[in-house]
Amino acid sequence: MPLSTPQNYTIKDIYALPEGERAELIAGKMYMVAPPSYLHQTLCMELSATIRDYIRSNNGSCQVLTAPLAVNLQADDTTYVEPDISVVCDRSKITPKGINGAPDFIVEIVSPSSRKLDYITKNTLYSEAGVREYWIVDLARRRTTIYRYEEDAAPMIVPFDQPLTVGIYGDLQITIAELLKNFE
């Protein structure tokens, strides 16, 4: 008797989900996405606004985009992710349906249901896709893990109370604890 083959999903399956259901697609495997918490969304908003304000004040050309927004890293139909924050400097990658290609900088805020996906699966995916910098902001552990793929260096783990430097800019420093101080 032949073994059953796992379902290989495509982006068409993502768009066919019932209204209000969200999922990500990695190499044809679908991962359902749980609704984010209040603190998750608050931090996402504060962090994205901080980055956006920096870009604007420096007359930068990059754009900050937040989930839910389709990011099709390989511009194929087997991988579709919704990073919490994407910074895209090549605006030709931005389409009416989302982003085609790798953003320059991605931030994922870890949820209990996304821990393994963010730390392992997406880390590999983002590295291979050409993302320049990836932050994993872990609310439960109160730390941020920073990957700077262009530098091919070991990841840095920074507690929330210490300033982080956004590597793609060099002079933008963010302290996560400061962003959260009025919301916890």
Among 34, 176, 180, smallest CA distance to 112 is for 34
Compute the average pLDDT of residues 27-40: 91
CA geometry: angle at 24 spanning 22 and 30, to 5°? 100
What pLDDT score was predicted for residue 75? 67
What pLDDT score was predicted for residue 3? 44
What pLDDT score was predicted for residue 76? 76
Are the beta carbons of 135 and 48 closer than 8 angstroms?
no
Query: Which domains are seen in the chain, by residue range?
Result: 36-180 (3.90.1570.10)
> If you count DSSP H runs as helices and E runs as strands, how many of each does the chain have, helices first?
5, 13
pLDDT higher than 50, residue 2:
no
What pLDDT score was predicted for residue 43? 97
Retrieve residue 150's tokens. Answer: 């262009």
Rounded to 5 degrees, φ, ψ at 33 are -115, 125
| Whole-number average pLDDT of the chain | 92
- Can you tell me which residue has the tokens 């956006």? 52
Compute the average pLDDT of residues 93-98: 92
Retrieve residue 80's tokens. Answer: 């579709």
Compute the average pLDDT of residues 63-83: 89
Compute the average pLDDT of residues 118-123: 94
What pLDDT score was predicted for residue 91? 94
The DSSP 8-state label assigned to residue 80 in this structure reads B
> Distance (Å, rounded) from C-alpha 171 to C-alpha 81?
29
What digits encode the pLDDT tens for the residues 135-165? 999 999 999 999 999 888 899 999 999 999 9
